[in-house]
Structure formats: structure tokens, C-alpha cells
Amino acid sequence: MTNKYIFTPGPVKISDDILAIGAKQTPYFRNNEFSKIVLECETNILKITNAPKNSRVLFFTASGTAAMEATVQNLLANDDKTLVINGGGFGQRFVDICKLHKKNHVNFKISNNNLQDTKPLEEYKNITNLLINAHETSIGLLYDLNSIGKFCKKNNILNIVDAISMFITDELDMQKFNIDALILSSQKGLALPPGISMIVLTPNAITKLQEQSSLYFDFQSYLADGLRGQTPFTPAVTILLQLHERLKQIVKTGVEQEILQAKEIAEYFRKAIEPLPLKLYSEYMPNAMTTLTPGDSKKASTIVNDLDQIYNIIVTPNGGELKDKIFRVSHMGAMTKEYTDILIDALYDYYKIKRKK
């Protein structure tokens, strides 16, 4: 099972040096040595995201959804007016969370639009908060964070961005994009095992903190303990050690270089499959992922199954009404052209077309 070729948007392919850390004894963590690790993780995340001065990072042992829910619970007052950009499964998840926690919100449904032109948002300029999934991973659409950030700044709106599926592969700059709170996760572009999610809070976001409504997801206690590099509860220590190493690598390489590499691989893949009966599904794809729709009568779900059964390759199926219409190919993680060629060659073989290199 661990020997399959994976092109899924989490888990993603992990590099050998990061994997090796997973085989080390879990160290005791309530001491200065481990605090130093956590504080360095915070510093490097703030650097990579270009967070405003005095921003902070919270480390949660939980999936990305938990970080989404915790953010809604901690940053939204019940009578705030929040606009939720709902372009697919993850936008809908934000809507569900707002409903469950009785947060006043507008469910803004949208499709095939990256909001580079923010005119559709104009009638909501009196909202207090905006919630958006930078990369709506269910269909592979990347919103224009630059335009949306300008709209938020102009109208004094708290801009809360789930960047889980585009961090490290696509441009993300908290100051340039006027982002107030940012949600991240370990198992996507960071290419670590799943289990840790992170929230970056700017000083502005910190002023919006609500009364405690959960012990495990109380931002105040994470902020307080984080000052000395600790978490209120036992963290996924091993994944934090892997995060520490990975962040050091990214800072050393430069995140721009990482993004460029993801872009090259995405473009390489998209160009290579042009002769095949597969069409790009979205005009607004991130470097992180390519969403494809069959150009012939084949069902997307059949292609997904066949790639697994015949070629030992895992691409990502969709559910519901998109099941037969699209499938998704992730370029996140320790991806190379050589690894991508395994999928490209399999697709050529599958369609019985000879690949010209």
C-alpha cells in the first residue's frame, strides 16, 4: 500500500530525509530543547508567509478541518456578518461550520470564477469577515488572493484564508494579500504526514479573539503557551520535528524557488498530456493540482480505478455528481518530472497513444 505512486492532494509524496525523521524515537517535549524547535518553526512560517510584524503561529494536533472550525469559533463574533466564498466542497464546509456555531453568515455560491474581478462581492462590502479556501481543492480552482485582499482592505473586512492546498506551491504573501488569519496543514505542499494544522494570526486578528468556547481549540491558551515554544496539550511531536526540518529546507531553498518548481512540474504535466483525450477542467488552476475531465466517453471514475489497478498509480476521484466527470492530479510534495513521467507514460499507455518526448 505504501509502494503505490501517489498524485493525491494529501497525503503527498514525502522526501526520504523527512521520512527518516519519522523513524526516530519520539523525544520528551516539555523542555527547552523542544521549545526551541517549536519557536524556530514559528519564525520560519512567519518568514515564508511574509506575515506582518508580531504575527503568531498556533500549532494544532488535528486535521485541517479542525483548524477551520477552531478559526470560526475563535475569530467570529456571533453577530458579525461573514461572507463565505463557497465554490465547492471546502467552501461548503466553512458554511456548515458557521451554521453549526450559529455565526451570522452569507453563503456566497460561485463557480468558474476566481474573483480577480471582485465586482460580484461589491454588494457585500458591509460584511465584517470573509472566509475563503484559497485553492478550492474539490475542483482545483485558485482564487485571486491579490484582488480579494484589496477588496477586504478597502472595506475593512477581516480576511481569513484557508491556504491548506496551495501553501508552498502557489504564491502566498500575507502582507501583499492583506490576509489577517491563515490556515495551513502538514500533509499538502509541506509534504509531511497528516496530523498537524497551523493557524497564523496577525495582530489585527488577535484583537478579534472571542470568549473561550472549547478547551482543545482555545486560541488564547495556544498563544500563551506558544510564547515559550510549548502547546497546551501533547502535540504530534514527530510531525513537528519533520516540520522543523522541512521549514529549514524551504527557507534555505527560498519559497519562490519551491513555487517555481511546482509551476514547472504542473506545466510540464499539462503540456505532456495535450495529445490525450483529457481536457483541463478549470481555467484557474493552481500549480498544486490539475483537474481533468475526459474528452471522450470514458468515465472519470473508470480512469481512476484503472490507473490504480493496472499501473499502481493513485490519482484523486471526486464524489457525488462530479464522480464520472472529473479526476484530480496533485503536483504537491516531493514531486519531480521523473515521478510525474510515471503517470504521463501510464496515461499514454492507457490510451494506446505513442508519447513523443
* Sites of contact with its own copies (CB under 8 A): 1-4, 6, 8, 10-14, 19-20, 22-31, 33-34, 61-66, 69, 93, 96-97, 100, 187, 193-195, 212-216, 232-239, 241, 308, 314, 317
Residue nearer to its own copies on the CB measure, 92 or 249: 92
Give the integer Cα–Cα distance in Å for 340 and 31. Answer: 42
Residue nearer to its own copies on the CB measure, 4 or 299: 4
Pairing of the two strands 82-86 and 105-109: parallel
Amino acid letter, residue 323 = K
Give the integer Cα–Cα distance in Å for 29 and 37. Answer: 10
Other CB atoms within a 10 A radius of the CB of residue 39 amount to: 17
Closest CB 31 distance from its own copies, rounded Å: 8
> In which residue are the cell numbers 518548481 written?
261
Give the integer Cα–Cα distance in Å for 324 and 249. Answer: 39
Residue nearer to its own copies on the CB measure, 55 or 291: 291
Closest CB 216 distance from its own copies, rounded Å: 4
Closest CB 19 distance from its own copies, rounded Å: 5
Residue nearer to its own copies on the CB measure, 100 or 353: 100
Closest CB 307 distance from its own copies, rounded Å: 12
Torsions phi, psi for 59 (to 5 deg): -110, 115
Burial 137-155 (b: 16+ CB within 10 A, else e): bbbbbbbbbebbbbbbeeb
Closest CB 121 distance from its own copies, rounded Å: 26
Closest CB 195 distance from its own copies, rounded Å: 4
Residue nearer to its own copies on the CB measure, 6 or 200: 6
| Angle of helix 237-253 versus helix 32-48 axis, rounded to 10 | 40
Residue nearer to its own copies on the CB measure, 29 or 167: 29
